[in-house]
Structure 1
Amino acid sequence: MSSTAGESIPVGTGHIACDLHSSAVVFSKLSSSYPLKLLSPRVSKHGVAIVYMMSYGGGLVGGDCVHLVVEVGRECKLMLLSQGSTKVFKTRPGDRASTRLRRSSPLPSSLQAVTTQSMEVTIAPDSALFLLPDPVTCFRSASYTQVQTFHLAGSASIVLLDWVTSGRKSIGEDWDFLRYYSVNEVFVEGRRVARDVLLLDNSSPDTPTTSCPSHPHDPPLRTLKDRLSPYSCYAMMLLYGPQTHSVVTDLQTKYRTISVFKRTAPEKFLWSLSPVDYGKGTVIRAAGVDTEDVKNWFREALKGLEVVVGIDEYRKVFL
């Protein structure tokens, strides 16, 4: 569904608003404009809706700016998914259609090249949002900023997955992007319960680039690849609210069985579990040598959501 006839949608914006009517989730708003595209297929599970967040051309280019507003009505269960990884193509000079109309004065070329995505989400009482997109994949020299804010009612639930890959490893792009910056904030009844920030910056190394006569023993430059290897995918998942309890209980049981001991080589896959907001929420962090290992682990870890959103609906996640 696009905008109502005659309605003007600002470039690069989208709006999702849904409510429960009888046993069906109905969208009062499902609108988007280039480069964002929103599609909602029919689902068989009562009280559940799915929206795919996509972009024209299969990705975002330097300078693209996308803003999405999401309103989940009472007793609705909304799954926000994507089809394939969110590709962020390399920077290129000049204005893009998605940025040209959003500012009144020119920005420096360095700022024009940054791809930005922002999301403002409101989740009503007894509702749930399952934000389970594919990972972000930044191409060489790309610069990406993402800011997502979630406002929950006291009885609302959320499963939030935010993950990034090292890039197109098959062609030698391994943590070769310029900058990746992601911020996730979660508020419950106006009180901030979680704030997660990830900054991966190739433009500001943590050590000097070369040795010089005054500092002959300075170590060489450590790139992102040096610091993040051997892993090619890092993920953060936050679970909060009553509709996540069964999944969290299963994860806690699995986590208690982990033994920590010294190893001669890095594990192929790592994960950790931490409580937030005095145990009312849970944060999972994971890293894998291969992105598929991370995807397969999350697919199994969240399998308890089949009871919440439906078996057929859950099968659409992590394809």
Structure 2
Amino acid sequence: MRQPSMPIRSPFESSIAKPGQGTVVLSLLPPANPTLTTLTYKYPLKLVPRAPGFVPSPEPSALSDSCPSRPIHLYLLTYGGGLLPGDHIEVSITLDAKTRMVVTTPQGSTKIFKTDPNNSDNSPNVIKGHRKQMPVNEHLSDMSKQTLDVRIGRQAALCYLPDPSVPFQHSRYSQVQTFTVDATAKGDERSSLCVLDWVTQGRTSRGEDWNFRFWRGRNEVWATDEKTGKSRLLLRDSVILDDETEDSEDDDLDEDHRGTDSHSGRVDTPPPQAGLAPMNVLQERTRPHGVVGTLILSGPVFDSLGSFLINQFASQPRIGSRNWSAATPSSVPEPSLSTKGNVTWTAARVRAGFVLVKFGAKDFETAKHWLGGLLREEGSVIREFGEEALFCL
């Protein structure tokens, strides 16, 4: 039998070359049916879509071609309920014009497992808990990474409200989230996004209190003109939580190489006294908070929510705002939800109309109740995306 000159390509071959990579494309098919035209992922990443029965009600004055489409829910999770050392997750999401998507995470899927190198003589030099055996490299192989790239078309909206990251003790994690909008869209045709990025102190039930090695997160919003290909940075927000132990280790290594050279110009630091625990830099910088986070709002869908948060922050009591010399003290308004709870927060309208909210709370439940209460009180997220969009709050 004659053999074919070229092997026949299997129709069941995976379309993704790299593990942990996923691609999602949401399109609006005629007449107005939101459909996932592309949905691919590979272990250890898993993407679970869901089309709820919720349909946003249009405004009475809205035209038929501007009615909001039904939102699609997408759950991001990994096998094992978290990120193991060395896991690299890359997710690309494209929202075509007039589509809406809610991206969230199942409960407990944002854990970042710790790194525990095993260097015993009777076992191979690998990282415990890693999905595959690989050489130990404390700067590269044991870091968990996640990259999210979202492109939002005209009149499209993204609601990204995940669970907070829970970094375990001695863990390393880095994430970059990039959101691209249409630079030529104006007014109500602009893209809309609501992004929540927050991190906790760790597993409080096991006594962890900001004991991870480092957690780095960066959120960027770009405006791109498809015709010219030019891009413009609208917003960049970075959070770096580093215990600086690697810097101290590098300093000790340099000191060993230099020996006892008295001409190095370095002032020796006295060793810590016996019986005293070393200072935790992260605890000192985040005290008294157990959760810190950022909320980013932009676009016509979330304009009312942004204005609501700005007004709530402006109504907070200020030092020196009351005139104590007045004969009749001004009436004190009833405290709102924004003033209740042990939460420190700020809100500001920044470049390109973005509303940026920074907050810190004593624990996860306090932050969840505070932020979820504000979003439910304002009501636009539930009205546009349904109650399930606040699943993590």
Please state which band the TM-score falls in when normalised by the shorter chain: 0.7 to 0.9
1:164 aligns with 2:193: no
1:271 aligns with 2:345: yes
1:113 aligns with 2:113: no
**For 1:259-298, what aligned pairs fall within 5 Å after superposition?**
259-261=317-319, 268-278=342-352, 280-298=353-371
Per mean C-alpha deviation after superposition, the further-off stretch among 107-116 and 126-135 is 107-116
- Secondary structure class of the residue paired with 2:80: helix
Aligned equivalent of 1:6, options 13, 16, 40: 13
Matched-pair contact (CA < 8 Å) for 2:71–2:101: yes
Given residue 7 of structure 1, which amino acid in structure 2 is its aligned partner? S
Deviation of 1:54 (Å): 0.6
Cα displacement string for residues 191-226 of structure 1 (whole angstroms, at most 9, x for unaligned residues): 2111011111113499999xxx96679997452112
- Secondary structure class of the residue paired with 2:307: helix
Distance 1:98 1:79, change over 3 A: farther
* Other-structure match for 2:89: 66
1:146 aligns with 2:175: yes
Aligned equivalent of 2:240, options 182, 195, 199: 199
- Secondary structure class of the residue paired with 2:317: coil
- What is the alpha-carbon root mean square deviation over aligned residues? 2.9
* Other-structure match for 2:115: 91
Aligned equivalent of 1:256, options 314, 317, 331: 314
Tell me the matched-pair count: 302
Deviation of 1:58 (Å): 0.7
Higher radius of gyration, 1 or 2: 2
Q: Structure 2: how far apart are the matches of 1:5 and 1:99?
A: 27
Distance 1:206 1:298, change over 3 A: farther
Q: Structure 2: how far apart are the matches of 1:205 and 1:110?
A: 9
Q: Structure 2: how far apart are the matches of 1:257 and 1:99?
A: 55
> Which consecutive unaligned segments of at least 5 residues does structure 1 have?
101-105
Per mean C-alpha deviation after superposition, the further-off stretch among 159-168 and 24-33 is 24-33
Q: Structure 1: how far apart are the matches of 2:349 and 2:271?
A: 42
Given residue 239 of structure 1, which amino acid in structure 2 is its aligned partner? L
Matched-pair contact (CA < 8 Å) for 1:45–1:313: no
Given residue 177 of structure 1, which amino acid in structure 2 is its aligned partner? F
> Which consecutive unaligned segments of at least 5 residues does structure 2 have?
1-10, 56-69, 118-125, 225-230, 252-266, 321-340
Matched-pair contact (CA < 8 Å) for 2:51–2:71: no
Using the aligned pairs only, state the percent identity: 28
**For 1:189-268, what aligned pairs fall within 5 Å after superposition?**
189=224, 190-204=231-245, 221-261=279-319, 268=342
Given residue 383 of structure 2, which amino acid in structure 1 is its aligned partner? V
Aligned equivalent of 2:383, options 285, 295, 307: 307
Matched-pair contact (CA < 8 Å) for 1:16–1:71: yes
Q: Structure 2: how far apart are the matches of 1:181 and 1:230?
A: 20
Distance 1:11 1:214, change over 3 A: closer
Q: Structure 1: how far apart are the matches of 2:248 and 2:141?
A: 28
* Other-structure match for 1:38: 47
Given residue 31 of structure 1, which amino acid in structure 2 is its aligned partner? T
Q: Structure 2: how far apart are the matches of 1:99 and 1:53?
A: 25
Cα displacement string for residues 57-89 of structure 1 (whole angstroms, at most 9, x for unaligned residues): 111111111100010111011110001241000
Matched-pair contact (CA < 8 Å) for 1:182–1:199: yes
Matched-pair contact (CA < 8 Å) for 1:12–1:99: no
Distance 1:98 1:136, change over 3 A: farther
Whichever structure has more strand as a proportion of its residues is 1
- Secondary structure class of the residue paired with 1:20: strand
Distance 1:12 1:207, change over 3 A: closer
Cα displacement string for residues 142-182 of structure 1 (whole angstroms, at most 9, x for unaligned residues): 00000111101231011011000000012111100011011
Matched-pair contact (CA < 8 Å) for 1:151–1:187: yes
* Other-structure match for 1:103: none
Distance 1:178 1:109, change over 3 A: closer
Deviation of 1:250 (Å): 1.3
Given residue 173 of structure 1, which amino acid in structure 2 is its aligned partner? E
Given residue 234 of structure 2, which amino acid in structure 1 is its aligned partner? V
Given residue 115 of structure 2, which amino acid in structure 1 is its aligned partner? T
Deviation of 1:27 (Å): 0.2
Matched-pair contact (CA < 8 Å) for 1:52–1:80: yes
Given residue 113 of structure 2, which amino acid in structure 1 is its aligned partner? F
Distance 1:110 1:218, change over 3 A: closer
Given residue 314 of structure 1, which amino acid in structure 2 is its aligned partner? A
Q: Structure 1: how far apart are the matches of 2:287 and 2:44?
A: 33
Q: Structure 2: how far apart are the matches of 1:45 and 1:254?
A: 29
Matched-pair contact (CA < 8 Å) for 1:75–1:126: yes
Deviation of 1:52 (Å): 0.3
Deviation of 1:5 (Å): 4.0
